[in-house]
Amino acid sequence: MQVLSLGGGVQSTTLFLMNLASEVDPRADFAVFADTGWERQGTYENIARLNTVGLEAGFPPIWRVSISNIRSEMLERGDGHYDHIPFYTQSLTSNGQLLFDGSEHVQEGVGQLRRQCTGHYKIRTINAAIQEEYSMVKRIQWLGFSVDELVRMRPSRVGYITHRFPLIEKRMDRADCVTWLQSHTYPVPVKSSCIGCPYHTDVEWKNLSPAEWEDACQFDEAIRDKHTTRRKNFKLYLHPSLVPLREVQLRQK
């Protein structure tokens, strides 16, 4: 079984369309999109377009799976349930000692919680849905990583799943994917990520729609009312400046 993991961003969109064009052999049996419930509107629109294009090409409907809404769950669960999203927080004392477990040093006085959202809301969700439908059938899982994302390559942790990276096989980077999409007159989609992803660059924050920006700002404010780090009463933020998102002076580049 050949399964294409579809995030809806530039790389996985290119991979999906290359699959329809028979530029990857063998052809995928189906594509699955793990929905966190908090994707950008452009991502949802792109998934809908891809589904239409796929159906017209005789490909099965995109399988959309979800475990829950990450935004709602984070706020509903409250204090102690912070560790799925890699929030920023104060992390180091003056002598450089970590104040709590599970952080990564970002810059002086700033740390970032471990990223667990992808594993929980994407990888586990896809695997659970496929296992429920097909049991533990052996499968090849296509991941849309490009050559500029080599550090993201990981072998599967279970024997019945083998990871495959078709874009890397073709030595394609993100720019190559954009060129492929444009040459096939397909619109270049927005970067696939949650609206309030702490990994956004300042430019990506600025590129949110007004409604998405307001949503992210409200979430950023809410997490400081409901969440603190496990061992210290340090506030959490979406931006590494440790400033409320609404007040951040975002850089142009």
Q: Over the stretch 141-176, which tens digit does the pLDDT of each residue have? A: 999 999 999 888 889 888 899 999 999 999 999 999
Which amino acid is it at 194?
C
**With 70 as the cut, is the pLDDT of residue 82 above it?**
no
* Cα–Cα distance, 104 to 202 (Å, whole number): 20
Q: Over the stretch 186-214, which tens digit does the pLDDT of each residue have? A: 999 999 999 999 999 999 999 999 999 99
Which amino acid is it at 65?
V
Residue 93 zone, left/alpha/beta (φ > 0; ψ -120 to 50; rest): beta
Mean pLDDT to the nearest integer, 64-84: 78
**With 60 as the cut, is the pLDDT of residue 96 above it?**
no
Instruction: Name residues whose C-beta falls within 8 Å of residue 51's C-beta, 6 or more positions apart in sequence.
Output: 61, 62
